[in-house]
């Protein structure tokens, strides 16, 4: 018996043949390789019958007993097939997620991210070893290039560091009673913001369960993004109600625009429409609102929301940019998506007129003819600025200037 190699020894001391002993054996054999010999070291000299019986029951080969100094060595060889195709790797530990962990950040960890998630990757992520027979989920988004955005781990950390609380971080008591015309305009703007925030919450929600968790950072980031959107819905609702005004009107244009965004089932196209085109334009709108809101508390609401939105835009920009880099033909399909959406929007052929008037009143400071006219001009300027910045973003993700101009021009009059 002495010449038999074994690589696994289990020390069981005084434990008699029992449930707890066999649980240990089951697991040792489960993770061992076929033909591997497992040594069970016991203080008991008389557990041979039970071990032999257990081995036979499990289809393993009982090899015999050997006397050690004060203990006994029982050896059993695994003969059943392997349950796991690989072993956990000690040095592969989610580099991105760990870069902010002080205990792990200096270790030289490798984290190879495959371009396609393994087929047997269940509802688990890189580095977890899967048992044979694990159910197959068939995630629709199982390729890295369909979902990945390189700064995602940094953005995720930033999102956590910059969380805020819509209840306690806003000085609600300091919101003044505005002139009713201005207050009504603010309430109309808040109504519009809430509608748009709902689409920003629901659209990632639609995709999150389609993303293979092998690319764990993406669903984690999207869930933090969704938390941001929930907070935006909350804070804009609270502001609409702060002076008793409450929600105002929703226009068909806005709902139609958001509907066409929601209908998009391709994740890259959706990311393009929502983050690059929509939220990017939204950031310009929030800049405008921050500038013209008459009170500091409401300015802060807008400012904090804008900071979140900029992070969402950053995710989408890198996502779509790298998707284009890896397949330049995608530019054409993004263009088609934008134009198809325009056709759908053209069926109503108008702007969000109620919103635009409210924006003009806000920027002008009142609905007195002079102020209103000034405000209206400022809104026109805003639209120009939105267009210029949209073109810049489209060029940034890899489009040429002419195409960027064309696509920006057909962007929804709803801004998002």
Site string (260-279) toward Fe ion, x via CB under 5 A:
-------------------x
195 binds Fe ion (CB under 5 A): no
Task: Give the residue, chosen from 197, 217, 284, 318, that forms a contact with Fe ion under the rule CB under 5 A.
Answer: 197
229 binds Fe ion (CB under 5 A): yes
Q: Find the shortest distance in angstroms from Cβ 228 to Fe ion.
A: 6
Q: Find the shortest distance in angstroms from Cβ 312 to Fe ion.
A: 4
Q: Which is nearer to Fe ion, 201 or 323 (CB)?
A: 201
Residues 122-161 that bind Fe ion (CB under 5 A): none
Scanning 79-87, 197-205, 334-342, 376-384 for contacts with Fe ion by CB under 5 A, the matching segment is 197-205
HEC profile for the chain? CCCCCCCEEEEEECCCCCHHHHHHHHHHHHHCCCCCEEEEEECCCCCHHHHHHHHHHHCCEEEEEEECCCCEEEEEECCCCCCECCCCCCCECCHHHHCCCCCCCCCCCECCCCCECCCCCCCCCCCCCCECCCCCCCCCECEHHHHCCCCHHHHHHHHHHCCCCCCCCCCHHHCCCCCHHHHHHHHHHHHHHHHHHHHHHHHHHHHHCCECHHHCHHHHHHHHHHHHHHHHHHHHHHHHHHCCCCCCCCCHHHHHHHHHHHHCCCHHHHHHHHHHHHHHHHHHHHHHHHHHCCCHHHHHHHHHHHHHHHHHHHHHHHHHHHHHHHCCCHHHHHHHHHHHHHHHHHCCCCCCHHHHHHHHHHHHCCCCHHHHHHHHHHHHHHHHHHHHHHHHHHHHCCCCHHHHHHHHHCCCCCCC
Task: Give the residue, chosen from 232, 341, 383, 390, that forms a contact with Fe ion under the rule CB under 5 A.
Answer: 232
312 binds Fe ion (CB under 5 A): yes
Scanning 36-44, 87-95, 114-122, 305-313 for contacts with Fe ion by CB under 5 A, the matching segment is 305-313
Scanning 45-53, 73-81, 150-158, 194-202 for contacts with Fe ion by CB under 5 A, the matching segment is 194-202
319 binds Fe ion (CB under 5 A): no
Q: Which is nearer to Fe ion, 28 or 285 (CB)?
A: 285
Scanning 13-21, 56-64, 84-92, 311-319 for contacts with Fe ion by CB under 5 A, the matching segment is 311-319
318 binds Fe ion (CB under 5 A): no
Q: Which is nearer to Fe ion, 197 or 217 (CB)?
A: 197
Q: Find the shortest distance in angstroms from Cβ 109 to Fe ion.
A: 31
Scanning 170-178, 230-238, 260-268, 391-399 for contacts with Fe ion by CB under 5 A, the matching segment is 230-238
Report the interface residues with Fe ion, using CB under 5 A.
197, 200, 229, 232, 279, 309, 312
């Amino acid at each position: 018996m002495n010449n038999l190699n074994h690589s696994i020894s289990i020390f069981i001391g005084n434990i008699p043949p029992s449930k707890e002993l066999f649980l240990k054996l089951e697991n040792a054999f489960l993770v061992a390789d076929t033909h591997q010999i497992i040594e069970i070291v016991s203080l008991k000299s008389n557990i041979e019958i039970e071990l032999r019986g257990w081995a036979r029951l499990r289809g393993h080969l009982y090899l015999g007993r050997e006397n050690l100094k004060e203990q006994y060595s029982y050896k059993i060889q695994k003969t059943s097939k392997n349950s796991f195709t690989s072993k956990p790797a000690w040095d592969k530990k989610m580099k991105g997620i760990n870069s902010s962990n002080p205990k792990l950040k200096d270790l030289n960890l490798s984290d190879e991210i495959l371009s396609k998630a393994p087929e047997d990757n269940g509802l688990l992520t890189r580095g977890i070893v899967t048992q044979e027979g694990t159910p197959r989920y068939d995630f629709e988004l199982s390729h890295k290039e369909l979902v990945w955005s390189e700064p995602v781990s940094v953005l995720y950390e930033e999102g956590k560091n910059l969380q805020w609380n819509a209840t306690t971080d806003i000085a609600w008591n300091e919101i003044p009673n505005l002139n009713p015309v201005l207050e009504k305009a603010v309430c109309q703007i808040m109504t519009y913001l809430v509608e748009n925030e709902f689409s920003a919450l629901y659209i990632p929600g639609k995709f999150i369960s389609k993303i293979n968790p092998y690319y764990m950072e993406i669903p984690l980031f999207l869930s933090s993004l969704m938390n941001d959107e929930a907070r935006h819905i909350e804070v804009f609702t609270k502001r609409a109600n702060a002076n008793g005004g409450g929600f105002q009107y929703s226009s068909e244009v806005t709902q139609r625009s958001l509907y066409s965004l929601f209908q998009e089932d391709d994740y890259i196209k959706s990311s393009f429409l929502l983050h690059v085109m929509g939220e990017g334009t939204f950031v310009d709108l929030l800049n405008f609102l921050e500038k013209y809101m008459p009170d500091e508390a409401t300015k802060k609401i807008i400012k904090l929301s804008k900071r979140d939105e900029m992070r969402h835009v950053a995710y989408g920009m890198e996502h779509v940019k790298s998707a284009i880099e890896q397949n330049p033909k995608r530019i054409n399909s993004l263009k088609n998506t934008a134009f198809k959406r325009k056709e759908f929007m053209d069926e109503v052929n108008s702007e969000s007129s109620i919103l635009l008037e409210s924006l003009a009143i806000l920027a002008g400071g009142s609905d007195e003819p002079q102020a209103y006219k000034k405000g209206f001009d400022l809104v026109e300027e805003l639209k120009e600025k939105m267009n210029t910045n949209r073109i810049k973003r489209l060029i940034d993700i890899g489009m040429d200037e002419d195409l960027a101009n064309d696509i920006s021009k057909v962007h929804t009059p709803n801004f998002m």
